[in-house]
Structure 1
């Protein structure tokens, strides 16, 4: 009986307190977390939005595979695939009742924008130098993703990526204030 109680507590929201305390947006809804795959950094992100610009779901590429879709089904998908030794180093966005925009910036540096810039702005950075995005947690509701929390960790290596052949800026809608100066 005690073992069942311990297992129940480990799977409960109380263990998610670290991610919930650093949540951007609403904390009300169904909690989710991406997988963690052998300590791999995120190598790609796919974001789906609806016609109103609400972010419906997010999917991460961890190593060589795509994790489960987190959020609700539907929408139009756009993705950012990272090059060799390229990592996500910051995320900006906006939320109103739901997550409305994500701007994902990498070590290259380049940024991709998903959704529409409406509502309260936020910026997420690693706490320590050399950390990169390893996963996400969040809260989904009936109409899409309501809040997001970022999991940071050390990158495997931080090598020069200048010759990767990827463009500097990949706008999903239009350039934002977070993109590199041209």
Structure 2
């Protein structure tokens, strides 16, 4: 065989090897694309309820680790909501807003979690109703102003944290952040 024919055969082999390599690479890319598309099409386990109220003043964020196990609120007597606090496991968060006035508190049972926050607002948050998956609720303040309702978009999601603003000792806005939390209990029965 002539060297020219050998070189041509070698070039054909190399081209076939490159084609096989590119085909495998394309198959891997196609597989990863399908996997990514499936992940993007999955339902969202996180949602956000935008803030209501004026939002003036100092901002607050109430976060913690684990499931919320209790909620505490402070209200001006027969008036606006002054502050809110969440307990995660056995640890209380810092207060969003201010303490003072009448205190309201609810301790959640094992496997109980917050599924709705409703209330009334104008410039301030005048009332809050915090509802659990067991139908229990904590009510603070007075029903004055415009109605708001906050709840998660996923049916198994629960309240994870709150944010908003406060001024002059009164909550001026509140927003809620929801997510699915896979925990067997809320941590109060340990």
- Whether the TM-score (by the shorter chain) exceeds 0.5 is yes
Cα offset, 1:158, TM superposition: 7.5
Assess if the C-alpha contact under 8 Å between 2:74 and 2:98 holds in 1.
no
Residues 1:24 and 2:52 aligned together: yes
Q: Counting helix residues as a fraction of each chain, which structure ranks higher?
A: 2
Alpha-carbon deviations, 1:36-57, whole Å to 9, x = none? 31xx122111000012421111
Could you say which residue in structure 2 is the equivalent of 1:58? 84
Could you say which residue in structure 1 is the equivalent of 2:74? 48
Cα offset, 1:26, TM superposition: 1.3
The number of residues matched between the two structures is 139
Q: 1:150 aligns with which of 154, 176, 190?
A: 176
Name stretches of at least 5 consecutive residues in structure 2 with no aligned partner.
1-46, 186-190
Bigger radius of gyration: 2
Could you say which residue in structure 1 is the equivalent of 2:32? none
Instruction: Tell me the secondary structure at the aligned position of residue 74 of structure 1.
Output: coil
Q: 2:134 aligns with which of 100, 108, 117?
A: 108
Q: TM-score, normalised by structure 2?
A: 0.68
Could you say which residue in structure 1 is the equivalent of 2:155? 129
Could you say which residue in structure 2 is the equivalent of 1:68? 94
Instruction: Tell me the secondary structure at the aligned position of residue 162 of structure 2.
Output: strand
Q: TM-score, normalised by structure 1?
A: 0.71
Name stretches of at least 5 consecutive residues in structure 1 with no aligned partner.
1-17, 160-182
Residues 1:35 and 2:63 aligned together: yes
Alpha-carbon deviations, 1:72-115, whole Å to 9, x = none? 23111110110000000011000122111111110112222111
Instruction: Tell me the secondary structure at the aligned position of residue 112 of structure 2.
Output: coil
User: Does the C-alpha gap of structure 1 residues 158 and 117 become closer, same or farther in structure 2, counting only changes over 3 Å?
Assistant: farther
Cα offset, 1:157, TM superposition: 4.5
Residues 1:138 and 2:157 aligned together: no
